[in-house]
């Protein structure tokens, strides 16, 4: 078998998320698998580095697929980009070692959340960033973000249903930058639970609006109470980078 590593960008606005679902064909994974299956004439399954929720975007999602056929990398990339919807692009295809696994070999991930922090809307980014009209207090947001860094039980910041899986994750860094009207929040960690980034960002926004104190984040983490965290919309969130 020939193992191909795919680097994928997508606008998740009109999709039900990354993961293939039985009740809809409107997923990123499903669209890519359909095109690959047409290319080789049989059903193909791909392995993604992880799921993204409905409406979430990706700048560099990673997947791998094993094909019996030995195809040139550029052939696979060109075929995919010819037949995929225009809001999904395969930016790179590499033939890799048979042992490469997009999910199991992922070491850490970086998510980017974009906030448009002006009193007026941004017509060009309204579907790709969250509009917060009131000026956010960046110093308070940065203070609150430090409580997330390190290894914690993130039960309070997840909607994950499974009680068997560990809720402990390690957040390596949170970077908050202001640039031309945008506030960019980058969160790097060894893994993320369902809705975790969106609940973290929603809570940071509440702090920036003066609706919470920064030190409340520490109490929320310790409480394991899922009803306390804020929640940010999906359309401002991007899977930015995966390290292997």
Predicted local confidence at residue 159, as pLDDT: 87
- 23 band by pLDDT with thresholds 50, 70 and 90: confident
Question: The pTM is what?
Answer: 0.94
Average pLDDT over residues 117-121: 97
Q: What is the mean pLDDT of the chain?
A: 96
Write out pLDDT tens, residues 39-81. Answer: 999 999 999 999 999 999 999 999 999 999 999 999 999 999 9
Give the H or E element holding residue 220.
helix 216-223
- Element housing 241 (H / E): strand 237-243
Give the tens place of pLDDT for each residue, 82-95: 999 999 999 999 99
Which CATH architecture best describes the domain 108-243? 2-Layer Sandwich (3.30)
Between CA 239 and CA 164 the distance in angstroms is 26
Answer for the pair 31, 125: CB distance below 8 angstroms, yes or no: no
With a pLDDT cut of 70, the percent of the chain lying above it is 99
Phi/psi region, residue 185 (left: phi>0; alpha: psi -120 to 50; beta: rest), is beta
Domain ranges in the chain with CATH number 3.30.70.580: 2-96
Q: What's the rounded Cα separation, in Å, for the pair 45 and 37? A: 8
**Confidence grade of residue 178 (pLDDT, cut at 50, 70, 90):** very high
d(CA 191, CA 169): 6
Question: Which percentage of the chain shows pLDDT scores above 90?
Answer: 94
> Can you name the residues that pair with 24 across neighbouring β-strands?
21
Residue range 133-149: average pLDDT? Answer: 98
Task: Please list the residue range(s) of the chain that carry CATH number 3.30.70.660.
Answer: 108-243
DSSP 8-state secondary structure symbol assigned to residue 235: G
Task: Tell me which residues are annotated as active site.
Answer: 53
Residue 125: pLDDT above 80?
yes
State the architecture of 2-96 in CATH terms: 2-Layer Sandwich (3.30)
**What does the alpha-carbon distance between residue 99 and residue 61 come to, in Å, rounded to a whole number?**
19
Tell me the HSE value of 205 on the side-chain side, using a 13 A CA sphere. Answer: 25
Q: Rounded to whole angstroms, how far apart are CA atoms 184 and 161?
A: 29
CB 168 within 8 Å of CB 150: no
Average pLDDT over residues 202-231: 96
pLDDT at 25: 81
**Contact status, residue 80 vs residue 4, Cβ threshold 8 Å:** no
pLDDT range class, residue 26, cuts 50, 70, 90:
very high
Q: What mean pLDDT is predicted for residues 24-33? A: 93
Which residues, listed in sequence order, are joined to residue 4 by a DSSP beta bridge? 65, 95
């Amino acid at each position: 078998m020939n193992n191909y590593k795919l680097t994928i960008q997508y606008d998740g606005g009109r999709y039900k998320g990354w993961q293939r679902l039985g009740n809809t064909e409107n997923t990123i994974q499903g669209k890519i698998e359909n095109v690959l299956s047409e290319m080789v004439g049989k059903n193909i399954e791909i392995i993604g580095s992880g799921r993204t929720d409905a409406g979430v975007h990706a700048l560099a999602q990673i997947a791998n697929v094993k094909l019996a056929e030995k195809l040139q990398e550029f052939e696979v990339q060109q075929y995919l980009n010819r037949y995929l919807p225009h809001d999904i692009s395969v930016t790179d295809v590499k033939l890799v070692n048979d042992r490469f696994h997009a999910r199991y070999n992922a070491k850490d991930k970086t998510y980017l959340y974009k906030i448009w922090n002006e009193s007026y809307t941004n017509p060009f980014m309204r579907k790709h960033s969250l509009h917060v009209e009131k000026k956010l207090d960046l110093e308070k947001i940065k203070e609150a973000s430090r409580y997330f860094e390190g290894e914690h039980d993130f039960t309070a910041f997840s909607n994950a249903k499974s009680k068997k899986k560990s809720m402990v994750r390690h957040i390596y860094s949170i970077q908050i930058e202001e640039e031309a009207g945008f506030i960019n929040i980058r969160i790097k960690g060894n893994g993320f639970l369902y809705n975790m980034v969106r609940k973290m960002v929603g809570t940071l926004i509440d702090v920036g609006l003066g609706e919470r104190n920064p030190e409340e984040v520490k109490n929320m983490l310790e409480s394991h109470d899922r009803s306390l965290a804020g929640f940010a919309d999906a359309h401002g969130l991007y899977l930015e980078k995966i390290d292997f």
